[in-house]
Structure 1
Amino acid sequence: MLTTMSLFRPTLFVSTIPSFLLRFCHSHSHSHSHIDDAVSSFLHMLHLHPAPPIIKFNKILGSLVKMKHYPTALSLSQQLQFQGEITPDIFTLNIFINCYCHMCQTSFAFSVLGNILKRGYHPDAITFTTLIKGMCLNGEVRKALNFHDDVVAKGFQLDHVGYGTLINGLCKVGETTAALQLLRRIEDHTAARPDVVTYTTIIDSMCKNKLVNDAFDLYHEMIVKGVSPNVFTYNALVYGFCVAGQLRKAVGLFSVMKMENVKPDVYTFSTLIDGLCKEGNVKQAENVLALMIKEGVKLNFVIYNTLMDGYCLINEMSEAEYLFKSMARGGVTPDVQSYSIMINGFCKAKMVGEALNLFKEMHCKKLVPNTVTYSCLIDGLCKAGRISNVWELVGEMHDRGHSESLMSKMEDNGCIPDAVTFVTIISALFEKNENDKAEKLLHEMIARGLL
């Protein structure tokens, strides 16, 4: 771990750019005319006498950074340093830090920080935020938190963007408690007071960790403190309540959104529809769908798949099939998941012929079946006594490398393999000379008491 002294020890700026960066620059800058224009303008200004102000060079370097051409920006900055009459300012050096951080070169980024201090410049909030973001991007979140403590101890201040960046980094690695503690430290700081993005980041992390009640408490806190929730705040909470099986609260929040004039987006609708369908409440999901259409939110394949799965769950295959056929008319192309949902539904409804037809249709459309597709169809075929079809599918699965997790995938999709399923697949494996896998399944069958 870097100490406070090592973080702020003035070091010479690394003026020698590694050769691979220059090669990267030359190989990429000529492929896009706007990159060529930026490089040409920069080189032209370098040879003007008197030289233009540094702000002109910063503008070009900043545009290259926005286009994510970090090596190109650094290559140009090397030439800038050789011009004695042009002095980089704090904005130039911040750009260098940003480039190094995005290229996972945080040690070079800290060398630039040392150069800032050596030149007598004062690092600003952008400097610290960029370094913290770089450490978070490189998976050094704890180091970023310690760096923050060093910075504050030395009398420097971060703004709400810097704290938001650090809190986001903590949440992404599951350090929600540390993120909340940091939030408590800055809630009353005027310059760094957390905004809706910061609160929402922690609320989202709490919901993903199934701490939805804690997230709901924080949601109320932010309102009391005068921070208005946005659609992302509500989306996180709706998701959290749906996952926790608290559908009534999820629907209640949906109503609150309308009262607060926060417009639900496609994610809000799809999350709520998914939660209702998984609880078997497809009729209420239909009402949400109707509202979605009324609001002018376009249906995507997630919505279609979710509703089809809901209809299959309650064995309303005619409704599911109608939706499946409606996808193309609505401008949405069914994907592998769409077909797998329908094949699973047909098999559970003992409509194996329809399931096989869809499977053949997948092949015609060059859609590659996944383990879910195979497991559902094989289970249905086993229970329907279609042994020859099972052997063909087991062989196809083996060729595609799917056969290892067959039984677990069946159970994940609500297909409980019985003795018939086991025996049929074991026989098919022996037929294909997959003896080791067949014996493994045989032992699993015995362990389950299916003799």
Structure 2
Amino acid sequence: MLLVRHTSPIIEFNKILGSLVKLKYYLTVISLSKQMEVKGIRANFVTLNILINCFCHLGQMAFSFSVLGKILKLGYQPNTVTLNTLMKGLCLKGEVKKSLHFHDKVVAQGFQMDHVSYGTLLNGLCKTGETRCAIKLLRMIEDRSTRPNVVMYSAIIDGLCKDKLVNEAYDLYSEMDAREIFPNVITYNTLICAFCLAGQLMGAFSLLHEMISYGRSQDVYTFSILIDALCKEGKVKEAKNLLAVMTKEGIKPGVVTYSTLMDGYCLVGEVQNAKQIFHAMVQMGVNPNVYSYNIMINGLCKCKRVDEAMNLLREMLHKNMVPDTVTYNSLIDGLCKSGRITSALNLMNEMHHRGQPADVVTYTSLLDALCKNQNLDKATALFMKMKERGIQPTMYTYTALIDGLCKGGRLKNAQELFQHLLVKGCCIDVWTYTVMISGLCKEGMFDEALAIKSKMEDNGCIPNAVTFEIIIRSLFEKDENDKAEKLLHEMIAKGLLGFRNFHGE
């Protein structure tokens, strides 16, 4: 079109530029418009609006406003599309206050704003946490000729829900109903999700019943939110019933819905039912993803069905799926807890060869297993290797190693490691302190154990019932009855002595 002698009308060029904008080729549009200018093809109002849109999406607001200047210079009158695009561009860049000032300026000059304008501003305010300002703007809109619509209300409801102000969000939803502004699926999903996160399942289900009874459309996300909430509360039977309701309503469950239900069954230890859902998903033509496999692998490993979990890994590889760090960590932990440390170490090597980086969870699982198996040299070597690779140990990693060293007769090494944590100013938790105290008590070093208990309290870490019981039991065994009784009274005073005896029953 640029090369032919008789130049095509500008409308034809605009069609091409508009199509490229839909494909998000913003830089290409800008480049082509420059080529048009070089060829003497004069941009019209539509072309300039397209350019403003491109610069806005690229976050180049100075260029966007320079194109606005060109529009005015050429004698064109900016319309709501021009102004809305500029306001949206400012909001996308996080400059919502500038967008509001721009709005005030153009309104003062007599320009009329529409639903899109206010929807853009309200959404921008809510996205930047300015929900109160958004409500004020909504009230201001009501005093003008523009009537608030479902998009405006939904933006504010979403903002209030993100601020955990669920009751206020519901009040705004009720206001919509009173004004006969009908909520859409986004409004409902936002509120249902907020109710679920706040643990108000009854409120969430009343909204679902309302959607169904009023014939309002639901989507896969509506049901997935509720299924997830039920599963998190261990109500897996109710979650499965909801899956049936979902299907009855003509909504096909997706991979996320099925995976959520599988996860729910695994959480309550019903792995066989999770496996049935996994197979049902495949039969319904829904392909499991890495997340789905990870849920099943983790569930099987937790139930000590590690060989079945390993078969699923092979199935993933056969399907050319890429297992991630989570996949390998579940299997390595499962193998370690089954005492198959060599297999776990081999799997870690395979993980490395497949380009999946081992993380602190991988190393901690292996280190814990080596310590429990009294392979302390290997455990220490693995700990050093972990630090060399720049992976920072967690407090659980340190606790596992300190516990292993104490139980393996290397108390001095354990004390050195523990002292290292104190010197570094690490936030040592109750379990790490208790493990160190236990190691000292085992060697009859009660003064040192009590000194650590005192240090623990000074650092604001409160000893729990296990901490007290370890020291008290050790003192009784060594006939240090007076010291034991004194600690027992302290334990009672702190309200830590429940209906338990010293056999741990």
TM-score by length of 1: 0.77
Q: Which residue, 60, 64, 67 being the options, matches 1:105?
A: 60
Q: 1:68 to 1:384 in 2, by over 3 A?
A: closer
- The number of equivalent residue pairs is 399
2:381 paired with 1:430: yes
CA contact (8 A) 2:328 2:351 kept: yes
Distance 2:384 2:351 in 1: 14
**Deviation string for 1:258-297 (max 9, x for gaps)?**
1221121111111111111111111111121111111221
Q: Which residue, 406, 409, 421 being the options, matches 2:361?
A: 406
Pairing 1:144-293 to 2, within 5 Å after superposition: 144-191=99-146, 193-293=147-247
Pairing 1:372-391 to 2, within 5 Å after superposition: 372-391=326-345
Q: 1:201 to 1:418 in 2, by over 3 A?
A: farther
Q: Secondary structure at the match of 2:262?
A: helix
Mean CA deviation greater in 109-118 or 225-234: 109-118
Distance 1:429 1:340 in 2: 30
Distance apart, 1:369 and its partner CA = 2.5
Distance 1:142 1:304 in 2: 43
Q: 1:182 to 1:419 in 2, by over 3 A?
A: same
2:267 paired with 1:313: yes
Q: Secondary structure at the match of 1:366?
A: coil
CA contact (8 A) 1:371 1:409 kept: no
Distance apart, 1:253 and its partner CA = 0.5
CA contact (8 A) 1:346 1:354 kept: yes
Mean CA deviation greater in 363-372 or 399-408: 399-408
Q: 1:166 to 1:444 in 2, by over 3 A?
A: farther
**Deviation string for 1:321-374 (max 9, x for gaps)?**
111122222112221111111122112223223223223333333333323223
Distance apart, 1:126 and its partner CA = 1.3
CA contact (8 A) 2:266 2:299 kept: yes
2:101 paired with 1:141: no
Distance apart, 1:69 and its partner CA = 4.3
Distance apart, 1:181 and its partner CA = 3.0
Q: Which residue, 392, 398, 412 being the options, matches 2:346?
A: 392
Distance apart, 1:164 and its partner CA = 1.0
CA contact (8 A) 2:360 2:392 kept: no
Mean CA deviation greater in 312-321 or 171-180: 171-180
Give the letter aligned to residue 65 of structure 1: V
Distance 1:199 1:407 in 2: 47
Q: Secondary structure at the match of 2:359?
A: helix
Q: 1:127 to 1:45 in 2, by over 3 A?
A: farther
Distance apart, 1:196 and its partner CA = 1.0
**Deviation string for 1:238-264 (max 9, x for gaps)?**
111112111111111100001221121
Say which one has the larger Rg. Answer: 2
Distance apart, 1:375 and its partner CA = 3.0
CA contact (8 A) 1:203 1:236 kept: yes
List runs of 5+ in structure 1 lacking aligned partners.
1-39, 411-416
Distance 1:237 1:358 in 2: 37
Distance 1:309 1:45 in 2: 66
TM-score by length of 2: 0.70
Name the residue aligned to 2:496. Answer: none
Q: 1:63 to 1:393 in 2, by over 3 A?
A: closer
Seq. identity, %: 52
Q: Which residue, 272, 288, 307 being the options, matches 1:353?
A: 307
CA contact (8 A) 2:263 2:295 kept: yes
Distance apart, 1:56 and its partner CA = 6.2
Name the residue aligned to 1:37. Answer: none
Q: 1:68 to 1:352 in 2, by over 3 A?
A: closer
Distance 1:273 1:177 in 2: 32
2:79 paired with 1:124: yes
Distance 1:305 1:170 in 2: 35
List runs of 5+ in structure 2 lacking aligned partners.
403-427, 437-505
Distance apart, 1:82 and its partner CA = 7.3
Give the letter aligned to residue 178 of structure 1: C
